[in-house]
Amino acid sequence: MRTDEGFRNRIYGKHHKTYTPLEDLPIDMIEDFPVGDSLHLIDLGVMKRCLLGWKDGNIGSYSTKWCAKDINIVSTFLINCKMPSEIHRAVRGLDTLAHWKGTEYRTFLLYISIVILKKVLSVDVYQHFVMFFCAVTICSTEMFTHFLPLAESLLESYVELYRDFYGEDYITSNIHNLSHLTYEVKKFGVLSSFNAYPFENRLFSIKKLLRNGNCPLPQIAKRLGEMLDVDRYQNTKTEKFPNLKNADIHQHSKIIQFESYSLNSSRFKDKWFLTLKNQVVSMTHALLKNNNIIIYGCPVVNTQDCFEYPIKSTYLNIYKSDGVLGSLCKYLAGDIKCKLAAVIDGNEIVFIPLVHTYIITKK
């Protein structure tokens, strides 16, 4: 492991190019610069490289290259796959893969990959990928902090086995940097707490403030000043969560709004949730009674592991089922662990938690 002292003493050879004024700051030149930015390391890095390599055959041996039939299978699946409303950008087909945004690669990795890749990758290549998937999922939510040592082991194995499937020449800096990922999650928090998505989104919003290329800084300063004036005179109302939307006169509703997500029983993609007792439930409606929200739903009867290697998927709250529902039951909002994405796979449904919807109880 490199150290701040070693960096300042220039002992790392070609790693050093020139002096940087950052060295004048009271910071650690190694520890305070994370490499685990999930936007560039994982989504636009490893995940993009794998998909382009499988599609075009320009990574490793041709044994991992998809034929035209496989490419069509994946593209058709992606186009027909409906993600929950919290995922705002739909994933496009492989014909536009080079133009995918980072969020599309992220959605594919966290919610679609383990379903569709099983159909187009050999067993050993698929199991190798699932190591990467499990590690990233663990690093994406505080719910699985206790699994971080496992994630570290999985990433080490993924990097080590990468040369067997794709060749040593394809172990790039991105692949190597995966070995530092869990260390930085322990130091900075889950992946979403130190990635570049908010920065990129802010740059996009600033860019939209420009009307032309003349004097951009004064334009931005004026627009920001106008926005501050508007905010100053707007009445801000504090909304309490959870709450019912579009309730009828009997206080029945099909929509419950939580702080970071919503459940909507009229939409297949938005009606699934996981309880604290690990029941997968299909919401039917909700009722406000004595200022308490009562959720009515039917639990899924038969749930199984989606995969069993390198760990059972149920350890990560991922289930598959034939979709058969049981009798109607009552639940409270506090009984919900997270919202689920329901990915249809032939006659089965794979349920995968939306990582940002976990309710973490602080002890």
pLDDT at site 169:
87
* Contact predicate 127/133, CB 8 Å: no
**Sequence-separated (6 or more) residues with CB below 8 Å from residue 294:** 286, 287, 288, 330, 331, 332
* Contact predicate 171/158, CB 8 Å: no
Whether 91 is in a domain gets the answer yes
> Environment class of residue 230 by beta-carbon count within 10 Å: exposed (0-12), middle (13-18) or buried (19+)?
exposed
Whether 11 is in a domain gets the answer no
**Sequence-separated (6 or more) residues with CB below 8 Å from residue 216:** 210
**Does residue 252 sit in the same domain as residue 320?**
yes
Residue 259: give the domain boundaries.
Answer: 243-357
Dist. CA 88–CA 269, nearest whole Å: 13
For the chain, how big is the Rg over CA atoms in Å? Answer: 23
Residue 184 tokens read as 């930085």
Print pLDDT tens along the chain (363 aa): 899 999 999 999 988 999 999 999 999 999 999 999 999 999 999 999 999 999 998 887 777 899 999 999 999 999 999 999 999 998 999 999 999 999 999 999 999 999 999 999 999 999 999 999 999 999 999 999 999 999 999 999 999 999 999 988 889 999 999 999 999 999 999 999 999 999 999 999 999 999 998 999 999 999 999 888 877 666 566 778 999 998 888 889 999 999 999 999 999 999 999 999 999 999 999 999 888 999 999 999 999 999 999 999 999 999 999 999 999 999 999 999 999 999 999 999 999 999 999 987 554
> Environment class of residue 357 by beta-carbon count within 10 Å: exposed (0-12), middle (13-18) or buried (19+)?
buried
Whether 330 is in a domain gets the answer yes
Query: Over the stretch 198-239, which tens digit does the pLDDT of each residue have?
Result: 999 999 999 999 999 899 999 999 999 988 887 766 656 677
Residue identified by tokens 């590690």 is 135
**Does residue 143 sit in the same domain as residue 262?**
no
Q: Which of 158, 193, 228 corresponds to the end of one domain? A: 193
Whether 227 is in a domain gets the answer no
Dist. CA 12–CA 323, nearest whole Å: 56
pLDDT at site 361:
58
Whether 22 is in a domain gets the answer no
Residue identified by tokens 């959870």 is 242
**Does residue 183 sit in the same domain as residue 68?**
yes
Q: Which of 162, 193, 224 corresponds to the end of one domain? A: 193
**Does residue 247 sit in the same domain as residue 187?**
no
**Does residue 260 sit in the same domain as residue 184?**
no
pLDDT at site 286:
96
**Does residue 71 sit in the same domain as residue 188?**
yes
Dist. CA 181–CA 310, nearest whole Å: 18
Whether 185 is in a domain gets the answer yes
**Does residue 271 sit in the same domain as residue 140?**
no
Tally of structural domains, the chain: 2
**Does residue 185 sit in the same domain as residue 55?**
yes
**Does residue 188 sit in the same domain as residue 256?**
no
Whether 254 is in a domain gets the answer yes
> Environment class of residue 23 by beta-carbon count within 10 Å: exposed (0-12), middle (13-18) or buried (19+)?
exposed
Question: What are all long-range contacts of 33-36, with beta carbons under 8 Å and residues at least 24 apart?
Answer: 34/184, 34/187, 34/188, 34/194, 35/177, 35/180, 35/184, 36/177, 36/180, 36/181, 36/184, 36/185, 36/188, 36/191, 36/194
Dist. CA 251–CA 288, nearest whole Å: 5
Query: CB atoms < 10 A from the CB of 26, how many?
Result: 5
**Does residue 48 sit in the same domain as residue 151?**
yes
**Does residue 260 sit in the same domain as residue 347?**
yes
Whether 307 is in a domain gets the answer yes
| CA dihedral angle for residue 47, residue 50, residue 55, residue 60, rounded to 10 degrees | 170
**Does residue 172 sit in the same domain as residue 257?**
no
